[in-house]
Structure 1
Amino acid sequence: MRILFVSDLYYPHLGGVSEHIFHLANEFEKMGHFVRILTGKMEGDFKPDERRVIRIGYGMKVKYNKSVGRITIGFDVLRIKKIMKEFDVIHSHGGISPTLPILALCFSDKTNFLTFHAGFDRCLPYAIFNPFFKYLFNKIDGKIAVSKTAEKSFGRYFKGEYRIIPNGIETKKFYPRNNKKEKTILFVGRIEKRKGVEYLISAMEYVIKEVKEATLMIAGGGYGSYKLFIPKSVEKNIQFLGFVSPDKLPELYSSANVFVSPAIGNESFGIVLLEAMASGTPVIASDIPGYRCVVENNIDGILVPPKDPVSLGKAIVNLLNDKKMQNNLIENGLKKAKRYDWSNIAKEILYFYYEVNPKLP
């Protein structure tokens, strides 16, 4: 089968959508399918699979959903139409959003799939241009949501049947190693407002009063403004690692005693939570819908109220000081993570392709 993934978000843009597409493409190629990725040109050095990427136009940064996304401008419509004719399946990612997924739906006469990734409360463009977006929505043969949270976000504007197929992880890459550093806390992610890093930094003031040797490692770009406002009382206990390349992340995950993701909302799924679980590191996360899809509270992780540094700090201290709780969360987290291996997710999506169109090659 010839499969074309379409997305405004792809490497070198870092994030969950890029990872999702990359790993699906890898798994489909292992099965013998031909895969290409249509996206925009953008600055950056991390391009792990450029041989299968078709770049059209330029990916421009935009602020959206309390994060930074991309839209593609300066594209060649005729070339896009010509490219799509060469494929059996057109699978767009992100949502019915500017601009490449919209073009794909407008001009495709193939079997169309769209994976809805985002979690959000309201989307003004969907409300304003609803008739046009509904027309495009009706052209989607197979609708996939990565979680119930994503389904609810888009279902508010577009009623229909969604297949829930979650994100995955590489369990051969993320696994426990014997490299734990005592009393270490880890955050991994883009450092932006919706990730809630400021609340984790505030929580450290409580943590070091109880566990003086505790150290917080923050891995991710964009930390400059946060570094300026760290209280002096915790300066020595916080390390900003900057961008950590994907090949070094597994060792970093497994080195920590506790992984914390204090996001304040707008998360559709918690890939980082599963990566930490697979690495044998217990998880503390905000009690938000996207994370409740992954974490079962006090079974394979701990959920705390968002924007509450005191509750977060207490949860961290309790876990750092309780080896039995750590071991229970690690054991259950490892079991859960195995179910989300990318090979299983790819098979589920492929079955859905054939369920929607049994005549696909």
Structure 2
Amino acid sequence: MGSGSRSSSSFSVGTHAAVCECHAAGSGFRLARRDDKNRTGIREDSELTSRLRICLVSAAYRPYPSGVSEHVHGLALGLRELGQKVTILTTNFPRLESGSDPVRVVRLGRAVLIPMNRSYATLPVGMDLAGQVRRFLRENCFDIVHCHGLFWPEISYWAFRYSDAVNVFTNLTAGFKTGAAGSGLFRRLFRSQLARVHGRIAISVRSRAAVEAYVPGEYRIIPCGVDTNRFRPRTASIPECAHRQPVILFLGRLDKRKGLSVLLKAMPRVLRSQPKTRLVVVGTGPMELAARRFVASAGLKDSVSFVGRVSPDDLPAYFAGSDIYCSPALGGETFGIVLLEAMASGVAVVASNIPGYDEVVTDGIDGILSPPGDAKAMSLALLRLIDDHGLRRRLAEAGLRRSRQFAWPSVARATLNYYLELMDSKSASASVSA
């Protein structure tokens, strides 16, 4: 696998906003082109009988609220449902209550938040974090160590260094500049680490493009999944929205990258046309105080509710109790898990037209995409759905169909198929070497 190699699976970008095709023998996965009439998402090819010992490694995990946390959690549950033995290796979040988890979770060190990609990254630290990871891996004979990260000094770095299993890398972030001058230096510095990567997964075209200069090789594109049992259409009410209609939901970290300020600036225009509209803001973050001050100064306090952090168990009710989900993110997204959750809940979606999001939503087909950072355009997109109930219903129904292509059972099966391919490949290589 040379630095210039591309995915061995067939890959194409078509003329009608195609996403990708990724289908290799045994992969069990195909992400449809946008112009496919049936828009098939993922198909199953084989029955899986192997029981693997799998360690999913991630610096971000519940209770820390992030798309990475939810992705790792969903994958763990999906693999467990397929009969696999799953352990999550993560860190502690001192100010957050961890609660119970249906899979085994091991926490080492503690998390420190550092600014990155106009947001915050979780960085595990500890007096002997490297030694703890080494002992943990030696005490647990894993078949697969699947790291959602790679770079020093976070926990995945140490997992790659000390793992003797089949090692898989997944990139879930867009915090790398494509073709950056430092990528060559990075590859030299981390040469031994990169040599220990047996498989590479990207969740989207955007995800692969963001990291392949740093972690070269063949990538299997397997998207994020959504729990269609947990997120589904239902009759629900949100206390903050009693007697108000329609309801717009924002859910995410209150930081610059998520673009809440754009949505807040769009609200006066929305309210002039539709004064009964209510915006519900779920989440916390460094921009919360500024957002609250803007709402007060703009006279929006009667129409905007700040809910704060919501437990994972309560999130589905907020989605299902809303009429429109809005994600005004400014960039730095590799996919759009939260969009899938809204679509699976039967809610119409308005989102920024940015890389990553455009691989989930097709403008005018299963949602509306608006230019990033443009408050006027965002307000017009919202009003378009508020004013046209028929359009809102059609987009919600199309979004619901689209979301089902990404149901976790299929995504987990595609991932497990890939694990088995990698194990077969490693075994074959070992036999040849012997």
- TM-score scaled by length of structure 1: 0.94
Mapped partners of 2:168, 2:305: distance in 1: 42
Task: Note if 1:184 corresponds to 2:237.
Answer: no
Task: Give 1:204's match in structure 2, choosing from 246, 267, 276.
Answer: 267
Mapped partners of 2:195, 2:426: distance in 1: 20
Task: Give 2:123's match in structure 1, choosing from 61, 71, 80.
Answer: 71
Which residue of the partner structure matches residue 40 of structure 1? 91
Q: Conserved in 2, the CA contact under 8 Å of 1:207 and 1:317? A: yes
Q: Conserved in 2, the CA contact under 8 Å of 1:84 and 1:90? A: no
Which residue of the partner structure matches residue 82 of structure 1? 135
Letter of the aligned partner of 2:251 in structure 1?
Answer: V
Q: Conserved in 1, the CA contact under 8 Å of 2:137 and 2:163? A: yes
Partner SS for 1:344: helix
Which residue of the partner structure matches residue 94 of structure 1? 149
Which residue of the partner structure matches residue 315 of structure 1? 381
Q: Conserved in 1, the CA contact under 8 Å of 2:168 and 2:200? A: yes
Task: Give 1:305's match in structure 2, choosing from 371, 385, 405.
Answer: 371
Task: Note if 1:160 corresponds to 2:217.
Answer: yes
1:84-233 map, 5 Å: 84-85=137-138, 86-122=141-177, 126=183, 128-179=185-236, 182-222=245-285, 223-230=288-295, 231-233=297-299
Instruction: Assess, with a 3 A threshold, how the Cα gap between structure 1 residues 158 and 28 changes in structure 2: closer, same or farther.
Output: closer
Task: Note if 1:19 corresponds to 2:70.
Answer: yes
Task: Give 1:261's match in structure 2, choosing from 327, 343, 350.
Answer: 327
Mapped partners of 2:175, 2:154: distance in 1: 19
- TM-score scaled by length of structure 2: 0.79
- Displaced runs of 4+ in structure 1, greater than 6 A? none
Letter of the aligned partner of 1:233 in structure 2?
Answer: G
Letter of the aligned partner of 2:384 in structure 1?
Answer: N
Identify the structure with the greater helix proportion.
1
My pick for the range that moved more, 46-55 or 229-238, is: 46-55
Mapped partners of 1:51, 1:297: distance in 2: 37
Could you tell me how far 1:192 is from its partner in structure 2? 0.7
My pick for the range that moved more, 193-202 or 30-39, is: 30-39
Q: Conserved in 1, the CA contact under 8 Å of 2:149 and 2:157? A: no
Partner SS for 1:265: coil
Q: Conserved in 2, the CA contact under 8 Å of 1:126 and 1:133? A: no
Mapped partners of 2:400, 2:188: distance in 1: 45
Mapped partners of 1:315, 1:38: distance in 2: 42
Letter of the aligned partner of 1:84 in structure 2?
Answer: L
Could you tell me how far 1:24 is from its partner in structure 2? 1.6
Which residue of the partner structure matches residue 58 of structure 1? 110
Structure 1 unmatched ranges of 5 or more: none
Q: Deviations over 1:301-341 (max 9, x none)?
A: 00000000000001101110001111110111011111111
Partner SS for 1:82: helix
Partner SS for 1:299: coil
Mapped partners of 1:281, 1:159: distance in 2: 38
Partner SS for 2:112: strand
What is the root-mean-square deviation of aligned Cα atoms in Å? 2.0
Could you tell me how far 1:351 is from its partner in structure 2? 0.2
Partner SS for 1:139: coil
Q: Conserved in 2, the CA contact under 8 Å of 1:17 and 1:94? A: no
Mapped partners of 2:236, 2:136: distance in 1: 48
Task: Give 2:394's match in structure 1, choosing from 307, 325, 328.
Answer: 328
Partner SS for 1:61: strand
Q: Conserved in 2, the CA contact under 8 Å of 1:8 and 1:98? A: no
Could you tell me how far 1:16 is from its partner in structure 2? 1.2
Could you tell me how far 1:97 is from its partner in structure 2? 4.9
Partner SS for 2:148: strand
Report how many aligned residue pairs link the two structures.
361
Letter of the aligned partner of 2:337 in structure 1?
Answer: I
Letter of the aligned partner of 2:235 in structure 1?
Answer: N
Mapped partners of 2:236, 2:73: distance in 1: 28
Letter of the aligned partner of 2:137 in structure 1?
Answer: M
Letter of the aligned partner of 1:130 in structure 2?
Answer: R
Letter of the aligned partner of 2:413 in structure 1?
Answer: K
Partner SS for 1:240: strand
Structure 2 unmatched ranges of 5 or more: 1-51, 238-243, 428-434
Q: Conserved in 1, the CA contact under 8 Å of 2:82 and 2:413? A: no
Mapped partners of 2:154, 2:146: distance in 1: 14
Instruction: Assess, with a 3 A threshold, how the Cα gap between structure 1 residues 38 and 31 changes in structure 2: closer, same or farther.
Output: same
Which residue of the partner structure matches residue 281 of structure 1? 347
Q: Deviations over 1:149-182 (max 9, x none)?
A: 1100002333321111111111011111134762
Letter of the aligned partner of 2:111 in structure 1?
Answer: G
**Identity rate, percent:** 35
Q: Conserved in 2, the CA contact under 8 Å of 1:88 and 1:360? A: no
Which residue of the partner structure matches residue 19 of structure 2? none
Partner SS for 1:40: strand
Could you tell me how far 1:110 is from its partner in structure 2? 1.4
Mapped partners of 1:28, 1:360: distance in 2: 21
Task: Note if 1:296 corresponds to 2:362.
Answer: yes
Mapped partners of 2:136, 2:181: distance in 1: 32
